[in-house]
């Protein structure tokens, strides 16, 4: 195999760099949509701009993939905002799970108070769900 044939089959550095830039542009566009939440494109861009701390125009250009080579500082700022968004979502989900466990405990206690024998199956079901998740009443704090 000659050198020219080997080079023809390989992806050139330029093509690799172009593909990398396109992937980053796609990542930034979807990050803007994630940060912007539901709503129109204008609302998404406005919410994302506030979350990232960049100008409306820059975020709008990211959303519509108008920037061909995204500077690293902009990409880093968007990635940090997405990370913060995900952490807040996780904290919110943990809090909602905690509230649901508390509600199940209260419901089991009320059922036991009303008629422990009559509602034994429901009480057992609620308590087994609490202990199966590893967060029974003895672990709440």
Of the candidates 29, 77, 28, the residue with the CA atom closest to the CA atom of residue 50: 77
Q: What are phi and psi of 138, to 5 degrees?
A: -75, -15
Instruction: Give the pLDDT band (50/70/90) at residue 74.
Output: very high
**Same structural domain, 3 and 62:** yes
Verdict on whether the full-model pTM lies above 0.75? no
Asked if residue 4 has pLDDT above 70, the reply is no
Output 136 or 133, whichever has higher pLDDT: 133
- Look up the domain containing 139 and give its range: 90-141
Instruction: Give the pLDDT band (50/70/90) at residue 119.
Output: confident
Q: What are phi and psi of 51, to 5 degrees?
A: -70, -40
**Same structural domain, 62 and 110:** no
When divided into structural domains, the chain yields a total of: 2
3-state secondary structure of 54: coil
Instruction: Give the pLDDT band (50/70/90) at residue 107.
Output: confident
């Amino acid at each position: 195999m000659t050198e020219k044939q080997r080079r023809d089959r390989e992806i050139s550095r330029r093509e690799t760099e172009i593909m990398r830039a396109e992937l980053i542009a796609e990542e930034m566009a979807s990050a803007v949509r994630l940060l912007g939440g539901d709503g129109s494109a204008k609302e998404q861009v406005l919410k994302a701009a506030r979350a990232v701390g960049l100008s409306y125009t820059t975020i709008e250009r990211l959303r519509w993939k108008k920037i061909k080579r995204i500077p690293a500082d902009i990409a880093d700022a968007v990635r940090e905002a997405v990370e913060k968004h995900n952490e807040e979502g996780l904290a919110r989900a943990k809090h909602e799970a905690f509230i649901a466990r508390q509600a199940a405990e209260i419901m089991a206690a009320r059922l036991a108070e009303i008629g422990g024998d009559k509602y034994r199956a429901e009480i057992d079901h609620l308590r087994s769900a609490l202990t199966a998740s590893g967060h029974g009443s003895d672990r709440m704090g």
